[in-house]
Structures are given as structure tokens and as C-alpha cells.
Amino acid sequence: MPEKLIENSTHAPHTLHEGATHREVTLHQDGGSGPTPPPRKRSVAGKIMLLLAIIVGVAAFISWRSSGKKTQAASAAQADAQSRRAVPVVTAAAEKRDLPIYLEGLGSVSAFNTVTVKSRVDGELTEVQFKEGQDVKKGDLLATIDPRPFQVALSQAQAMLARDTAQLNDANLDAGRYQELVKEGVIAQQQYDTQHALAGQVQGSVQADQASIDNAKLNLAYSHITSPIDGRVGLRLVDAGNIVHASDPNGLLVITQMQPISVIFTLPEDSLPSVNAGMRKGTLQVKALSRDDGTQLATGTLLTIDNQIDQTTGTYRLKAVFSNTDRALWPNQFVNARLLLDVKKNAIIVPAAAVQHGTQGAFIYVVKADKTAETRSVVPGITQGTITIIDSGLAAGELVVTDGQDKLRAGTVVDARSDTRGGDQPSTSSPNGRSNGGAQPGNPRNGQPGNTAGPGQPGGQQSGAYPRGNGQGNGQGNGQGNGKDQRKNKNRNGGAN
């Protein structure tokens, strides 16, 4: 049997390697020594370490899976909570009423009569009997030119008429006598003919004198300048004391007829058949509005259509007449003319902002009785400014969402608020599709949601169908206030230090 000896490295005269604490020597029966086989303890320890590593990895994987599930569950719970949270939206009720269809074009006010009053005789302007801006009637005295030269000319003409009349009477008497003498053969026929011709010449002079008298009377009448039409006097162009001439280019004043007055506007040529059809049925109504469509100035009727189309613009001109009793229309004023073409009876109408468009076509978010949103496919009809007709898919009285659709989906709980923008008189769109929406009340769509403008905030420019957000104004005000407080605190702290 072999014997196993364990010797301490400190007492052994020979060591196997440096740093070894023990060495093993195996003695065989033959007295020789050989290599020792690997011990089993190391293999068992490695297996244990591997097993522990596997257990740790499995535990880590299980922990990661459980945390991921918890995160997903939390996300799902949060999403569910958000879906249950009421989303604030603006709603409006669908109405069933008559909707007028308008055609709108840009036009200008034109007076039926505009007269530049000029002098028809030369002379000194002695009197001005009108005031600037005065309403005058036809025949009213406006100004007077010195009439004395024309009175003198009239007297001269009358004197010449008296002289020539006396000569005519004498020539006629002589002609009568010569006629008797010719019959008795006392004088020659030639002498009688000469006297008869002389009487004729004097008769011509008398007629010329009468014409001079009439001309002098006419010039005398022209020295008193009167109004040729009813209208309003403009600014005075010549003052009293100036010498005026019939050849002066500017005249004395301008009179413009204000009642009635006309508006000439244009429409695209594509609308000509429908306008002609409307005129054959009866008189078409025309409304004149201010350039921003915010104020209705007057209501009149369509008078006529021009006889040709402008090829450069593809438009034609129309002329409407207005009574203008309140002087709301002024000559050369730019206005928007709104022609009432037709009226859609019993139409279902909603604000145009309620109609959305997707891959499946047009749809509307409808608020149900349980305060949840429903996606409803609809067939929109004519869009008249901020109002759209719904041909099918919606009933009168149903609430539709007009603002806040970007946060909605089918089944979302909503916090409905009434739409205060109104729409009794929708702004119109021209046949070219240009929308002319008027100014609408504030809505915080483009600003901070939930903020409203304080008193005295001026209205901003429009962005689409909404004005610029009131939230921007509040945000700027709060920021300025906080900045001032910070500067005060900084100054206060600096002074204390």
C-alpha cells in the first residue's frame, strides 16, 4: 500500500514551487514518487457556483418581467383614467331653419349724377350763396357774377331795337305809297322794288336787335348760377372776388346726388346663369356691408347686369340701387355687396368648424346623453361662411363639437360648454370659395386653454375662424408681473445686504 506523507514547506529541505504552503508526496512501494490526480472538491465547487449563477439570472429575469408587467399595468391604468377624465369641448346645437345663400363681390358706391358747376359767362364772382356740405335743390341760387355788364348790354340792345323799329315803320309807309304811285304810273317799278327791299333790310335789323336783347337777357340770367340737380354741395373751389371765365377747367363747386345712390360690384362669370335665373323670377335683394363685413350699411335691389364680361378678370359688373335715406353710403366708397340668390328651406345647419374630414369622409363628433362623444358620418352640403348645411346624418337639436376635436375619440367623456360665437347671420363666402368670416368672440384656441381675456383687452387678428388666443395676453401679463416682483425682491435684498 502506498503511504501519503504531508510535509510542512517550512521544514522540508526541498520545495516543489515558490509560494506553496503545502506539498504532497506520494510514496509507492517501489520507493518512487509521481503526479497527483485533480481533487474532486474543485469540480464540486464549480458546479455549485454555476448553479448559483443560474439561480441569480433566473431571479433577475423574473424580477424584470414582474416590473415590466407592473409598468404596463400602471400605463394601462393611467390611460384608462385619462379616458375616463372629462375632456373640455365647445359644443353647439344643430338647428333646422332657413338659410339664405349669398353671392358676394367687392364694389364701390357710385352716384347717379355728379355735376361740376361752372360759370357760363366771364366776370367777377360777387356773391357765394351756398355753404360747403349743404343740401340743395334744383334751381337754388348758388353764386352771383357781377350782372352790370350784362344789364348794360341789354339796354343797348333794347335801344337799337327801338331805333330799327322806327326805321322799319317809316320804310313800310314809303313802300305803301310807292305801291300806289306805281299803279298810277307816276314812278317806275324799279323805284318801288328798291323801297320794298329797304323795308325788308330794316325788318332784318329789327330781328337782329331782338336776338341781341335775348342774348343779353340770357347772359344776365347766367350771372346768377343755380343748382342743376338735387344733391349735396362739396367743397368750394373759388372764393368771392375772383374773376371767373367760362373756360375755367375746375369750375366753382361740385354737386353730387346722394339719394338714391348705386353700387357697382363684380361677380365671377360662373355665377351669371344663376343670377339671370334669379332676375327672371323677380327682384333680387342686395346688401351693402363694410369692407370687414362687420356692419350692414344699406339694403337695396339689383338694377341691372352689364352687357359684357371682362376677359382679363373673368368677371362681370352688376349695378344695384339703394335709397340711402340715412346717408350710410358715400360716393366712391368701397363696400362688399352681398346678393341674395336663394334661400334653403328647413336646412339642418351647424358651425363649419364642427365638420371634420378623415379617410372615411366627413364626420362630426356628436355628444350623447351620457356625456360621451360619438363619431357620426355626415354628408355636408353648401358651406356659407361659418355655417355648413348637413344634407344627411344629423338631426336638429343634437349637440355637435365645434372645438377640441383633436382630443376626442369614440366613447370619450366630454365636458360640454356652449358655443358663444353665434351664427344667426353667417358671414358669406364668395363664389371663388373665399371665406369672409366676421369678427367672432374670443376663444382660447390658440392661447393657453382655460384662460380668458381680462377687461379692456383689445381683440387680436383672426386665425381662421377664431381670433388670436386670449391666453397669450394673460400669459404675457403674468410673466411681466412676476418679473417685476423678482426685480423688486432683488433690489430689496441688495439694499439689505
- The residues spanned by each domain of the chain are 88-97+346-442
By the 8 A CB rule, do 105 and 347 touch? no
Question: What was the pLDDT predicted at 82?
Answer: 57
Averaged pLDDT for residues 6-12:
42
Question: What was the pLDDT predicted at 322?
Answer: 97
Question: What was the pLDDT predicted at 54?
Answer: 85
**Chain segment 265-313, per-residue pLDDT in tens:** 999 999 999 999 999 988 999 999 998 888 999 999 999 999 999 999 9
> Which residues lie closer than 8 Å to 261 by C-beta, 6 or more apart?
109, 110, 111, 112, 321, 322, 324, 329, 331
Averaged pLDDT for residues 236-260:
93
> Which of 315, 393, 380 is closest to 353 using CA atoms?
380
Gap between the Cα atoms of 98 and 187, Å rounded: 103
For residues 186 and 426, the model is more confident at 186
Question: What was the pLDDT predicted at 311?
Answer: 92
Label residue 31 by pLDDT band (50, 70, 90).
very low
Gap between the Cα atoms of 60 and 401, Å rounded: 50
Question: What was the pLDDT predicted at 330?
Answer: 94
> Which of 390, 385, 399, 384 is closest to 355 using CA atoms?
390
Question: What was the pLDDT predicted at 442?
Answer: 38
> Which of 463, 347, 492 is closest to 403 using CA atoms?
463
Averaged pLDDT for residues 466-494:
41
Label residue 412 by pLDDT band (50, 70, 90).
confident
Summary mean pLDDT of the chain: 78
Q: Given a cut of 90, is residue 314 above it in pLDDT?
A: yes
Label residue 381 by pLDDT band (50, 70, 90).
confident
**Chain segment 65-89, per-residue pLDDT in tens:** 766 666 676 666 665 655 567 888 8
For residues 63 and 24, the model is more confident at 63
Question: What was the pLDDT predicted at 70?
Answer: 65
Residue 453 CB neighbour total at 10 angstroms: 20
Gap between the Cα atoms of 225 and 251, Å rounded: 12
Range 88-97+346-442: architecture per CATH: Beta Barrel (2.40)
Q: Given a cut of 80, is residue 27 above it in pLDDT?
A: no
Gap between the Cα atoms of 185 and 327, Å rounded: 85
> Which of 213, 216, 214, 203 is closest to 166 using CA atoms?
203
Averaged pLDDT for residues 39-50:
70
Label residue 192 by pLDDT band (50, 70, 90).
confident
